[in-house]
Chain A
Amino acid sequence: AQSVTQPDIHITVSEGASLELRCNYSYGATPYLFWYVQSPGQGLQLLLKYFSGDTLVQGIKGFEAEFKRSQSSFNLRKPSVHWSDAAEYFCAVVTYNNNDMRFGAGTRLTVKP
């Protein structure tokens, strides 16, 4: 069955520390991968996406993500977290032969001063 897994429900990091949010997918076909961010009471905003080519992709707000086919992963990273990054982060997958977009359960990020 197709699935998107975000193993970490909640992560707390100190401001200025580095961040890595995990995302694993289980799909038979070539995936298109996305990371979205949701601030409280808001809709989702795209951070970055991977379709093909360079496996390290850059996004907005200083985020990057690396696609690793061998590990079926698409982890999100940021070298230095800011208090404004506190939000919920969702990994999403679309496959070549499907028309729907599936999301992981989300990871809530708390940033300590």
Chain B
Amino acid sequence: NAGVTQTPKFRILKIGQSMTLQCTQDMNHNYMYWYRQDPGMGLKLIYYSVGAGITDKGEVPNGYNVSRSTTEDFPLRLELAAPSQTSVYFCASSYLGGAGSTEAFFGQGTRLTVV
């Protein structure tokens, strides 16, 4: 099983550029999440989805957009990159969330630098 796959692993963006971080899972999980990890800050939830066609904001959604057109894919879009978006981004998925929550499986992360 591939699990959760994120691409790219590394990326350098210039201020104002846009990009999409890809995330796909092959476990037929309903729930998918995007987190950013900054030193000393832990993981902050950006967006999450409870199923295809349904997304919701997390703690730090500003500057990002997501879509969930299929169960497998949950891309994260940065429209106008800013230095504050320099971070490591993790995608995760779980079969269930909320009531009856199950374990989340994480991708390997995408290290993004905005210069």
A-side residues, CB < 8 A to B, are 6, 9, 32, 34, 36, 41-46, 49, 51, 90, 92, 94-106
Question: Which segment of B13-21, B62-70, B75-83, B93-101 sits at the interface?
Answer: B93-101
**Complex-state Cα separation, A36 to B90, whole angstroms:** 14
Residues of chain A with a CB closer than 8 A to B50's CB: 99
* CB of A5, distance to nearest CB on chain B (Å): 10
Closest B-chain residue to A104, C-beta based? B42
Kindly list 17 other residue pairs between chains A and B, CB separation below 8 angstroms, not including A97-B99, A100-B48. Answer: A32-B101, A34-B104, A36-B106, A43-B108, A44-B104, A46-B104, A90-B43, A94-B97, A94-B98, A98-B98, A99-B98, A100-B45, A101-B94, A102-B45, A103-B35, A105-B40, A106-B40
9 A-B pairs with least C-beta separation = A43-B106, A105-B42, A103-B43, A94-B101, A99-B98, A44-B106, A99-B97, A32-B101, A103-B42
B residues contacting the other copy or chain, number (CB 8 A): 28
B48 A99 Cβ-Cβ under 8 A: yes
Residues of chain A with a CB closer than 8 A to B97's CB: 94, 99-101
**Chain B contact surface mostly:** strand
B-side residues, CB < 8 A to A, are 4, 31, 33, 35, 40-45, 48, 50, 56, 58-59, 90, 92, 94, 97-99, 101, 103-104, 106-109
Residues of chain B with a CB closer than 8 A to A100's CB: 33, 45, 48, 56, 58, 97
A90 B33 Cβ-Cβ under 8 A: no
Residues of chain A with a CB closer than 8 A to B40's CB: 9, 105-106
**Complex-state Cα separation, A19 to B104, whole angstroms:** 25
- Are A101 and B99 CB-contacts (below 8 A) given A43-B108, A44-B90, A46-B104? no
B42 A101 Cβ-Cβ under 8 A: no
Residues of chain B with a CB closer than 8 A to A46's CB: 103-104
